[in-house]
Structure 1
Amino acid sequence: MLRRLKPLLLLSAALAVTPAFAADEAPAAADAADAAEPAGGASSGEIVVTARRRAEDVQDVPVAISVVGGATLEAQGTYNINRLTQLQPTLQFFSTNPRNTFINIRGIGAPFGLTNDGFEQGVGIYIDQVYYNRIAAATLDFVDVEQIEVLRGPQGTLYGKNTTAGAINVTTRAPSFTFEGKAEVSLGNYSFKQAKASVSGPITDTLAARISVSSTDRRGTIYNVATDQWINAQDNIGIRGALLWKPGEDLRITLAGDFNLQDPICCGQIYARVGTTQRALNRQYAALTALFPGYRVPSTDAFDRRTDLDAPLAARNEMGGASLRAEWDVGPGTLTSITAWRYWDWDPSNDRDFTGLPVYTKVNNPTKQNQYTQELRYAYEADRLDFVVGAFAFYQEIRTSGIQETGPAASAWLLAPSSALSRNPAVLNGIVAENDIRLDNLSLAAFGKVNWHVTDQLTISPGIRINYDKKEGLYDSVVIGTASDGTRQLITNDATHPYYNDPWIAAQRGTQSSQFFEPDFSDWNLSYDINLSYKVTEDVLAYATYARSFKTGGINLNGVPSRGDGTPALEVAQIRPEKVDHFEVGLKTQFWNRRATFNLTGYWTEIDDFQASVISNVSGSNVLRGYLANADKVRVRGIEADFTVRPTDRLNAYVSGAFTDHEFRKFVDAPCPPELAGGGTGTPAGPPATPGVNSPANCDVSGQWLPGVSKWAFSWGAEYEIPAAILGRDGDVYLGYDANYRSKFSSNASRSIYTDISGYSIHNFRVGFRTDSFDVFGWIRNAFDQNYFESLAVTPGNTGLISAQLGDPQTWGGTIKFSF
């Protein structure tokens, strides 16, 4: 207990924090970066956002939107989207590595449990108005951010692509025509080191520049006894530069570029627990590990933070790009053009048997991507009518060259003990699968949104979007094994192959076999919405929205089940688009001379053909294989409330909460949870968690929870400051606190008795002293050292092993910031 409380005592733990909705921060419109106020300063209560592609007060926007300013992000140590979830109750983030990352809003946005280049997420991420297709961007550090807007609900009539669940709109600080700069250094436990710097100023009377850098380094929080390393470390660097050319008051051209690199010893999922499946008892985890005398997992308590993963771990994640944005005031509106190129280079090394045994020695999928986007829009504004019309084009090219290789423990681990081959390590040792996976992805769209101010109080806002998507893919897995005569041979489902009936090759074919197919998808869809908003008073806005939205279809690029004749089941290679019906009502209010803000939202979302992980027996095949397909219907509904208050210029506080009711309304061919998997394929199916009985081919999870969503989620905090003079400098001493809570949620594609994650709360404290030019403070995060899982996963093979991704333990340190 003393170990846990010592940092808290050192920091004089107290109650306060900058509010999540950044009521103290400056507008994020172009050229507003110069006006940013320090956290805790006085404010009029107005927050300017660009959620509707023009600058306006957030309280006048009839959309469920939360705003976090740059000063708040810095003060609370929120330097990536994962940490942003602690401030946003309906934002969910799950990541086992940058490629396997999912972001959901209100529980929807991405299918849970399978990684596949052929589908797309339903939460759009935009940084300086550039669409980021790869969700891996979310794992990188924020660099010089002005503010972040989280828009909840479908946004497709204003945003470029796939925003059926919402959008995250990040605005970085713009170049300034006044010379300015800032620097920040943080040190903490686990050898945490973080440095940030930014400088901006004029080059000529019409040209300004800004360059920003960020570096984060932290020792891992899990000790690997097999390699004598601390894993799941952080090793990030980010650089962003921008040039702003203003030849006149009506034209602004911004050229920006960035480079981001992560290269940590990461990412390992460790032993969490073992459950009983329907597999034969001698093929479950305890019996399998007993085949290797002397093997013991380092700890059966995940929070001892010890593992023995024996395959090399790496997660090199490089991303960058350039954009050119031109904004030209033409007549009563603004014409905006955004041209961008981005690349992503992913080079991983994983341990996918999740043990210290050499079952799989390599399971790596290096990926390279290039994407190109072009958006052109015109925003018109007048007394009674304003609108945005535009066009968007997107092209993406992904090339993945994967490899999977088995090791000397594979025969005993993967083959039935009744087979003599299971006792020969050479049978499955050295099976190599080389995977060539390709995707060419084209999307074209035209969109428009009109705001008709019928009266000074009533506004009617219809929107429309027409979208064309085309995907062309290739999946080519060439699997080579060793035949019984010692020769290297193709492992194939082609019965005419001369080694098809070789006993070793036959055994290997049950593990993995070559497969080739070229899926494609193309479709048009029409999205539309209508929004009614009414100004009850100057500070009270009521609104209602209906939206019909689509998330583009996809293709399976991780392999599909094989038919009995060995050919791929191409009928499941395509994934149909999601069709979303969304209803929302909201109330935005300010009172007490705008010192208090209270916003309330209720919504009801139904999705047909929800894209999800499924498992199915293809006719004529005895092989079960997971892939992406469509659940019939999903429903998510809920209530969200946000409250901020500033009773004095020295105190501010906030609380946000969300109730989310979520379920699969109809999903009859879902993957079964582990307690109903791994057994025989006959009928009838046996009781759950009973070894050696038959398992259902798939499971009906209609009425069950969606994965990753808590019914209740809250965030809250406060900040208090008092005038003080230290070392002859006048400033403010401040005390800060922020916290969040989420209730129990499921961490498996189909809810399992082994993968529910209990509710937990995280509490953060800080205390410091700031002036106009510097800020020094100490901080402690997860102050009470709460042990919690970020995710639990069923490992391959139905052995009962459940792996875990752990949340950060208690961390503490100090930060000093200078600005000029």
Structure 2
Amino acid sequence: MATQQQRTRGFRAQPLAWCIGLALASPLGTALAQDNSNAEKTETKIETITVTAQKRVQNVMDVPLAIDSVSAEDLTDTSSVLLGDIADYTPGFKFSKEAVAQASAEVRGISSSNISTGGDPSVAIFFDDFYLPRAAQSVLFSDMQRIEILKGPQGTLFGKNAAAGVVNMIPNAPRLDDEAFVKATLGDYALQRFELMGNKALTDNFALRLNLMSNKRDAYVDNLNPDYRGTELGSVNHRSARLAALWQLSDATKLQVSYDWDDVDQGYAPGVGVSPYAYSLNPGDRKIENDVVDGHETRDMTALSIKLLHDFNEQWSGKFISSKRQWQVSGRDDADGTADKTRYLDTINFEDSDIFYNELQLNYNDDKLSFVGGMTYSKENVYQKTSLNILADTIARLTTDSLNQQLIGALQQNGLPDEMIAQMGLPADHIWNPQNWASMLSVMAMVDPSVAGLLQMLGAEPFSPELVAAIGATGDLTYDAIAGGLGVAEIFGPSNSGKMWSEDIINTGDFTSYGLYSDLDYQLNAQWGFTAGLRYSRDEKDFSWEIKERSFGQPLPGITNFLFPLMPELTASKSWSKLTGRAVARYNVDSNNMLYLSYATGYKSGGYDSLDPMSSQNPFAPEEVANIELGYKADLWQSLRVQLVAYQMDLTNRQRSVNSKAPDAGVAIPIVINGDQEIRGGELVLDWQASDSLKLGLVTEYRKTESKWQQFYNADGELVTDVEKSSAADSYTLTADWAPDYRLAGGAFKLHVDYVFEENTKADDPDILDIAYQIPGYFADTKNLNARLSWASHDDQWQLAVWGKNLTDNTTVGGLGGFAAAALGTPLTSLNAPRTVGVDVRYQF
């Protein structure tokens, strides 16, 4: 078997050859040899999937795009209620599984940057045609028609330019008939999920559709800290409601008004500490000992939306949509993963924002020509307050580290060997430990007469037991004296233990976005078709930073902020614009086989880093993408569906989040930097209707990324200039659906099984922490086996199911990092969900 290095070299030399070779080795080779006279459309046994990605109803196999459609049945089979639940079943797509307010989408390895409100997401997400900004992207969904995921740059079909891709979530609209269902899902970890849908036609032309959903679950990890008083970390409490009204004004015109409510009130996703100071170095224990004060994640979000649709004639139609969405977000998480109050650090993110989104669209369709054109306008107002909270005990530890560096450096300059320095008690662990402080004072006394005089006043000699006893007996006296003598206010005594040191940075933003787009598709003849589209985007951003002084317990003279230096309100303003587009050529070998070649460009506006006021003078640049894609789609032998894509994406000024500690800063914070990337990969989706009762599927991808980033200070405060990186990853998902002929009480059974594999590439990270090699399972691949067995009555009125996820109880460990990783030696990681089982009961009225 070829080594990974050999495979990578071969793929790198010919970026498109891998997928082309697969295509030619597949039934395409046979299909190309067939006589076109046999190219009449055959009726396949495999299910036809319709999408509206190009703003008209099409068979997904006729769309010259890399697109995945997740149906309502798929959502049921996988028990999916959030975008993170479907990520394993769509190649090239990932979405945060735990976080809600700070969730992030990723397509083909491209994800959004950090929590900054000054930037836009790389993946544009739409719900019922309306754009969802960064903090609003993760919504609890029920009663969905389907979810479409378009990969690669988009903008000529949707109301927001997207550098990496688009997720289009399509809920069921109100109908002029009566229907309803209730559904309950119960499982271990106290899972309780309840859904209700009711659709009522009140008149011949007016209907209402109501959806209610509640999703609750206990945490997958145990917090063993008996003093913790916040919401259970990792617990879920998410509720949503939607009321939509349809008014059929005439045969050609209809109006839809909807109100959406989404409420999150749960524990923050737990940071699993993996350090000598955490509960364990083995995340697989699923035990933590976190001491964050009031850990929580909340979001209260509402939206009022209007859609007016009109058919002018058989060819022309139009649509106008408008919505106002607003949300308040609060999240407080443990950033150190320990119960050690000398290493305490937490962060709070609070947001109060809204968006006013509008779009006008025209559509034309006939046998050969299709046109989509429109304009968009949106106005987003953002307010964000980011707080860093540290106990005085932690500040004293950081002060200890600073004094250690100064004292040890002075001793080394005087020629003292490390062994002798260690005998003097350096480096000290914490200045509030009398023995440690006595060692420090003794070393200071060797070079500073005033410190020697202080020891004489205490009646103690350097390095003597009497000095340790005197420190313990005098409380803050020695600390105050040294602080005054050295002019270092951060040296303070143990009477301040338990006091909270808090710093805030406040941001406001006013973002205006305009867009004009058009997309033209022409079917030249039975074989050839062409598509061309253009989009003009303009983004205007006004942003501000303000850092106010916060009290630290009782005021201490000279104490000031050390992470966010005090700063009056600072404002900045800038605009960006870009013309992007796509060109696609498709060739129908016959009515069941299609090849397409596309070139598309995308754009994401520049912006400001909410945690870095320096970005007011140097905002991060717009993210620009150019993507060339070769695709093959085929329905073969009435039973096999093939979707094969090879692509190369070139990114300029990719926006990336890194943990950075500027010189003289207290701890590292996430900032945004720019860089260039080249991503080459392939995606393959196979669906095989093996028999009338058995359907098999394969979803897989391979991706290789080469990156070159601008220089930055890393989490240790070191300037990183060698920032070229290369990485490769592959993954696949196998699915099987079996519907046997066996009947019970007149009802039918269905068994769904899927297996998810994702290669672990953490060993390729050049910045990997040494402690990673001590963490069991850190380099293990993801291997999840899931299954669902359901029974439906002959009239589909009743549906019962039992299901299990991660049946082999495979543990997958996330990456290492966090605010406190470098400064306090307390990195964090995350965990996947363990084995879970449950039951579904659904009743259709």
Decide which moves more: 622-631 or 359-368. 622-631
Task: Render the CA deviation track for 1:86-126: whole Å, top value 9, x for unaligned.
Answer: 21131122366333322110001313xx3211011111111
Q: How many residues align?
A: 700
The residue aligned with 2:425 is none
User: Alignment RMSD, CA only?
Assistant: 2.6
Out of 622, 627, 632, the position equivalent to 1:587 is 632
Tell me, yes or no, if structure 1 residue 577 matches structure 2 residue 622.
Answer: yes
1:412 alignment partner, SS class: helix
Mapping for residues 706-785 of structure 1, pairs under 5 Å: 711-726=729-744, 729-746=745-762, 751-753=767-769, 757-771=779-793, 772-785=796-809
Larger % of strand: which? Answer: 1
> Is the 2:549–2:561 Cα contact (8 Å) retained in structure 1?
no
Q: 2:835 aligned to 794, 800, 810, which one? A: 810
Bigger CA drift: 796-805 or 711-720?
Answer: 796-805
- Give the TM-score, by structure 1 length: 0.81
Q: Is the 8 A contact 2:85 2:97 kept in 1?
A: no
1:639 matched to 2:682 = yes
**Alignment of 1:264 onto 2:334:** no
Q: How far apart in 2 are the matches of 1:592 and 1:703?
A: 44
- Cα pair distance change 1:718/1:95, threshold 3 Å: closer
Q: Residue type matched to 1:770 in 2?
A: A
Q: Report if aligned partners of 1:66, 1:151 keep a CA contact under 8 Å in 2.
A: yes
Asked if the contact 1:175–1:209 (Cα under 8 Å) also holds between the matched residues in 2, the reply is yes
| Aligned residue identity for 1:308 | E
Partner Cα separation in structure 1 for residue 76 and residue 843 of structure 2: 13
Name the residue aligned to 1:104: 106
SS at 1:654's partner residue?
A: strand
Q: Separation in 2 of the partners of 1:185 and 1:622? A: 51
AA of the residue aligned to 1:800:
G
CA separation of 1:784 and 1:646: change in aligned 2, threshold 3 A: same
| Partners of 1:49 and 1:329 in 2: CA distance | 20
Give the CA deviation at 1:247.
Answer: 2.7
SS, match of residue 101 in structure 1? coil
Q: 1:608 aligns to what?
A: 652
Looking at structure 2, the residues matched to 44 and 222 of structure 1 have their Cα atoms a distance apart, in angstroms, of: 42
- SS of the aligned residue for 1:263 comes to strand
Counterpart in the other structure of 1:492: none
Q: 1:551 aligns with which of 593, 596, 604?
A: 604
Asked if the contact 2:107/2:123 (under 8 Å) is kept, the reply is: yes
Q: 1:425 to 1:377 in 2, by over 3 A?
A: farther
AA aligned opposite 1:327:
L
- 1:349-375 CA deviation, whole Å, 9 max, x = no partner? 222233213355753121111101000
Quick one: distance in 1 between partners of 2:512 and 2:344?
36
- What's the offset of the Cα at 1:72? 1.6
| Partner of residue 334, structure 1 | 317
Aligned-pair distance for 1:430? 3.8
SS in 1 for 2:306: strand
Asked if the contact 1:431/1:479 (under 8 Å) is kept, the reply is no
**Any conservation in 1 of the 2:385–2:507 contact (CA below 8 Å)?**
yes
Q: Does the CA contact (< 8 Å) of 2:336 and 2:346 recur in 1? A: no
Aligned to 1:354: 337
CA distance, structure 1, for counterparts of residue 550 and residue 362 of structure 2: 56
Aligned-partner residue type, residue 606 of structure 1: D
Q: Within 5 Å, give how 1:75-94 maps onto structure 2.
A: 75-94=77-96
Letter in 2 for 1:474: S
CA drift at 1:589: 0.3
Q: Does the Cα contact within 8 Å between 1:86 and 1:739 map onto a contact in 2?
A: no
> Partner residue of 1:305?
286
- On the 8 A contact 1:757/1:792 being kept in 2, the answer is no
Bigger shift: 424-433 or 301-310? 424-433
Change in 2 beyond 3 A, CA 1:649/1:569: closer
3-state SS in 2 of match to 1:82: helix
Could you give the per-residue CA deviations for residues 23-68 of structure 1, whole angstroms, max 9, x where no partner exists?
A: xxxxxxxxxxxxxxxxxxx966221111011111111100000111
| SS state at 1:266 partner | coil
Structure 2 Cα separation of the partners of residues 307 and 761 of structure 1: 24
Instruction: Kindly indicate whether the alpha-carbon contact (under 8 Å) linking 1:546 and 1:584 is maintained by their aligned counterparts in 2.
Output: yes
- Structure 1 residue identity aligned to 2:705: H
Q: How does 1:289-688 map to 2 (within 5 A)?
A: 297-310=278-291, 311-331=293-313, 332-358=315-341, 359-360=343-344, 363-417=347-401, 418=403, 424-425=493-494, 429-481=499-551, 487=555, 502=558, 505=559, 508-516=560-568, 517-560=570-613, 568=614, 570-572=616-618, 574-593=619-638, 595-613=639-657, 628-664=671-707, 666-670=708-712, 672=714, 677=716
The Cα offsets for residues 459-506 of structure 1, whole Å up to 9 and x where unpaired, read as 1111101111011111111133559xx6467xxxxxxxxxxxx4xx3x
Query: CA distance change for structure 1 residues 209 and 790 in 2, over 3 Å: closer, same or farther?
Result: farther
Residue 149 of structure 2: aligned partner: 150
Q: Which runs of 5+ in 2 are unaligned?
A: 1-43, 405-478, 480-489, 773-777
**CA distance in 1 between partners of 2:352 and 2:362 (Å):** 34
Question: Which digits, 9 at most, give the CA deviation of each residue in 1:385-421, with x for residues without a partner?
Answer: 2111100111111112343333232233322343765
Relative contact order: is structure 1 or structure 2 higher (C-alpha 8 Å, sep ≥ 6)? 1
Superposed displacement of residue 781, structure 1: 0.5
Say if 1:176 and 1:509 are closer, same or farther in 2 by CA, change over 3 A.
Answer: closer
8 A contact 1:400–1:438 mirrored in 2? yes
| Corresponding residue number in structure 1 for 2:27 | none
For residues 75 and 615 of structure 2, the distance between their equivalents in structure 1, rounded to whole angstroms, comes to 48
- Give the secondary-structure state (helix, strand or coil) at the position aligned to 1:722: coil
Query: Using the alignment, how far apart are the partners of 2:288 and 2:299 within structure 1?
Result: 23
2:293 pairs with 1:223: no
Q: Which residue of the partner structure matches residue 203 of structure 2?
A: 204
Tell me the CA shift for residue 157 of structure 1. 1.1
Name the larger-Rg structure: 2
Q: Which amino acid aligns with 2:698?
A: V
Instruction: Report matched runs for 1:176-255 at 5 Å.
Output: 176-226=175-225, 227=227, 230-255=232-257
For 1:758 and 1:204, the matched residues in 2 are separated by 59
- CA distance in structure 2 between the aligned counterparts of 1:434 and 1:164, rounded to whole angstroms: 32
- Indicate the SS of the match to 1:703: strand
1:226-245: CA deviation from partner (whole Å, max 9, x where unpaired): 24674201111111111111
Answer yes or no: is the 8 Å Cα contact 1:441–1:469 preserved in 2: yes
Is the alpha carbon distance of 1:434 and 1:793 closer, same or farther for their aligned partners in structure 2, counting shifts above 3 Å? closer
**Deviation by residue 1:737-794 (Cα, 9 ceiling, x = unmatched):** 1121110134999742456753211110122321222111111100010111244324
- Counterpart residue identity of residue 464, structure 1: L
Structure 2 residue matching 1:71: 3-state secondary structure? helix
Letter in 2 for 1:779: W
Identity across aligned pairs (percent)? 21
Partner residue in 1 for 2:844 = 819
Aligned partner of residue 741 in structure 2, secondary structure: strand
Where does residue 428 of structure 2 map in the other structure? none
Query: Structure 2: which amino acid aligns with 1:801?
Result: T
2:46 and 2:688 in contact (8 A); partners too: no
One-letter code aligned to 1:340: S
Deviates more, 1:418-427 or 1:114-123: 418-427
1:363 match: secondary structure:
strand
- Once residues 622 and 349 of structure 1 are traced to their aligned partners in structure 2, the CA distance between those partners, rounded to angstroms, is 22
Show structure 1 runs of 5+ residues with no match: 1-41, 275-285, 290-296, 490-501, 561-567, 679-695
CA contact (8 A) 1:613 1:670 kept: no
Residues 103, 381 of structure 1: alpha-carbon distance in 2 compared, 3 angstrom cutoff = same
Written as runs of structure 1 = structure 2, the 5 A alignment for 1:8-23 is none
Contact 1:175 1:210 in 2 (8 A): yes
